[in-house]
Amino acid sequence: MGTQHTDVKSSFDLKSQTEDAPNFVDNRTDKEKAIDDWLPITSSRNAKWWYSAFHNVTAMVGAGVLSLPYAMSELGWGPGVTVLIISWIVTLYTLWQMVEMHEIVPGKRFDRYHELGQHAFGEKLGLYIVVPQQLIVEVGVDIVYMVTGGKSLKKFHDLVCNDHCKDIKLTYFIMIFASVHFVLSHLPNFNSISGVSLAAAVMSLSYSTIAWTASVNKGVQPHVQYGYKSKSTVGTMFNFFTALGDVAFAYAGHNVVLEIQATIPSTPEKPSKGPMWKGVVVAYIVVALCYFPVALIGYWMYGNEVSDNILISLNKPTWLIAMANLFVVVHVIGSYQIYAMPVFDMMEIVLVKKLNFPPSFLLRFITRNIYVALTMFIGICFPFFGGLLGFFGGFAFAPTTYFLPCIMWLSIRKPKKWSLSWITNWICIILGVALMVVSPIGGLRTIIVQAKDYDFFS
């Protein structure tokens, strides 16, 4: 695996160096050039800064935003607001670090998260540390989005039908949602899905706005309570842990940030980090506009009775909530594609470079359809939405989002001991590790509790 990856990596470095430095001699064979021009991440490098903005919004503002009022109800006012604000600041900081590290070695571009990991931790160790976590996040998100897309379609159908239609199983709605991806998954690279991504980013702002304005319109519910729902201390503690995972899930965009940056052109005079950072700042402003009003207003209006998807708590006005659910569907279509693209890239690297399959439409057609079918099948089997969020949230989102960039920064940049950079990174690492340990515990317990009343393939 190590030697193969050296070839892969060196060929990518050569590709980026030839783009960035016109006098550089390209030693790649025609075959290697053809492969690099075919792979999803490196095939197109003409993105503008606003591509970065809406790709990042689509990657970040996922279905997680709809579970934030529920997370607030498990955290309580003080801890909830604190966790939201700290998460926003820490993840913006770690995202800035990743943007800076994309071209930290002159003439090279780390186009993939695991390539940066290999530079920081070594050829083999970097792969072992980053790839499993990145795959858990990306495949995990896609599975959760299958469930979310299916649930939102079902909710839309039930609202529009208004008890006049036959009840249709969730399983069929997940299949309908998946059918879109059997088509969209054949778009070749990141830039080709920019239209889908833009639509998704607009939708995320739209349904977040609907969620909090409809909550304001409903007003504070009679007999609203802000205390913890669970009667036992142990239950409250586990729920608190799960809620931390929900928040971590809401800030999961880091897993695709280097891959998004790889699509932006770069020269020594104008490195890609300039336009990329501009896009990230715009994206984070949109994130704040989506997350904080939904989380705080949703909790304020419903207290601890809020559902784990705020749109389920809102039933009136029917047309508005139906529309919001449709917006969620469009948004998770885009998000699914953003998270699937790096997975496609990994699969295609292994097949073409390691197993020597020729790059072809047929290869792409088979592998991508298998991936969509697999995420659909797992989504149908395990649609426990809240618990899945908490479990995946802590397990892999916390490392890749909260503290892995900090460890890489310390390893590559080596800031002076006790300097501001050194202290900041260690604080992020300690918070991230704590989050990684506690939230899967809560998530797993939620899945176990919910599974008791659950019949498979509902």
pLDDT in tens, 337-380: 998 999 999 999 999 988 888 888 899 999 999 999 999 998 88
How much of the chain exceeds pLDDT 70, in percent? 88
* 313 compared with 127, residue with greater pLDDT: 127
Structure tokens at 257: 């940030």
What confidence tier does 104 reach under pLDDT thresholds 50, 70, 90? confident
Instruction: Name the amino acid, one letter, at 410.
Output: L
pLDDT in tens, 79-92: 999 999 998 998 89
Counting Cα atoms < 13 Å in the Cβ hemisphere of 61 gives 37
Give the number of other CB atoms < 10 A from CB of residue 285: 12
Under DSSP, the state recorded for 394 is I
Which of 90, 71, 69 has the alpha carbon at shortest distance from 443? 71
Which of 307, 330, 324, 319 has the alpha carbon at shortest distance from 162? 319
The pLDDT value given to residue 7: 42
pLDDT in tens, 394-419: 677 778 888 889 999 999 999 899 99
- 2-451 has which fold? Amino acid/polyamine transporter I (1.20.1740)
Under DSSP, the state recorded for 221 is P
Structure tokens at 120: 């920081």
In the numeric block, the tokens 């070594």 are attached to 122
Of 267-276, 311-320, 381-390, the least confident: 381-390
**Residue-averaged pLDDT of the chain:** 82
Q: Left (φ > 0), alpha (ψ -120 to 50) or beta: where does 457 sit?
A: left
Residue environment code for 71-94, b if the CB has 16+ CB neighbours within 10 A, otherwise e? bbbbbbeeebbebbeebbebbbbb
Which of 21-25, 206-210, 449-453 holds the top average pLDDT?
A: 206-210
| CA–CA distance, 118 with 273 (Å, rounded to integer) | 20
* 390 compared with 271, residue with greater pLDDT: 271
User: What does the domain layout of the chain look like in residue ranges?
Assistant: 2-451
Reply yes or no on whether the pLDDT at 180 is more than 90: yes
Reply yes or no on whether the pLDDT at 386 is more than 80: no
